[in-house]
Amino acid sequence: MTVVGKILVFLNLVFSLVVGAFAVMDYTARTHWADYAGKLKAQNDVLRAQNETSRKENDRLAQDRANLTASLLAAIGTQAPELKGLPDAANIDKYLVGALKDRNKSIGDLTTKLTSLQNEKKALDVKLAEASATQAAYNTLVASRQNDSGVLRQQLKDEMDKNFKLVKSTNDLRDETVQYQIQSRTLKERNTQLEEALRKAQTDLAQAKTLGGRTPGTSGVNPPPENIEGLVRRAEGNLVTISLGSDAGLTRGQTLEVFRFGQNPKYVGRIRIVEVMQTQAVGMSTGKLLAPIQVGDRVASRIVGGN
């Protein structure tokens, strides 16, 4: 094989390698484009040097070169369809260099975009970290506020319970006050009635002195040793049943004074006990009564102010 043939075969091999390198670069351009571009540039430099060396010999071998060029262009058209249709091999290097520059420019643009995207991602990561920290602080604050809210709700409940108890206690005190007021008015009214009854009894005693010539309590009087007081439960003629019995210390033969409260209080007279039971006793009127004994009249061992 001649030197030109060897050169052409070598060129064919070089172009095949270049086409394969482009195929590989197309697949690995994002990660290994710099290495392949360097290798391709080195190969192009070698190719140019070899072309310069073989140019002198190509002058002698013009016809063979033309034939070989046609064969080479046919082979390149098969391996790289984008190069098909070139008039000769003289423009292949220029075309490849232009294509490489365009590819390098595209890779540079993609690298720039990738760098920009990486910077944006870093900025977004920083913002995300700040947002996460803010969210954690907010969650801590919310938990603290919820805890404080629970404490305040419990305090509010305790205060409401205290207020409820105070209101209930106030209402109870108000009710007791009203009851005491009612009792006070009742006691005042009863005291007024007793005073009126006492005055009436004193008047009746004075009348009894005038009518009978003696006063109750000066003759035939035998009151119980203890001051007791009861009510008339039944009245039939001169016999009466009273609410006092042996449980109050009452015995047969003792005397009790009868008087009446109400709108017309008065002293009625005296009774002597003739029969005693556990909780009641039967008495009989003694002397002249100033009025008939009625159910509800009061009986007592003595009348304050009597002689």
Per-residue pLDDT tens over the stretch 234-246: 999 889 999 999 9
Digit-coded pLDDT (tens) for 149-168 = 889 989 998 998 888 888 88
* Burial letters 17-56, b for 16+ CB under 10 A, else e: ebbebbeebeeebeeebeebbeebeeebeebeeeeeebee
Q: Which of 235, 241, 251, 228 is nearest to 289 (CA)?
A: 235
pTM: 0.34
**Which two structure tokens, joined as six digits, stand for 287?**
């002397």
> Which residue, 306, 298, 297, is CA-closest to 216?
306
pLDDT tens-digit series, residues 18-69? 877 777 666 666 666 566 667 778 888 888 888 788 777 767 777 776 676 6
Confidence class for position 216, pLDDT limits 50, 70, 90: very low
Percent of the chain with pLDDT over 90: 24
Give the span between the Cα atoms of 58 and 301, in whole angstroms. 168
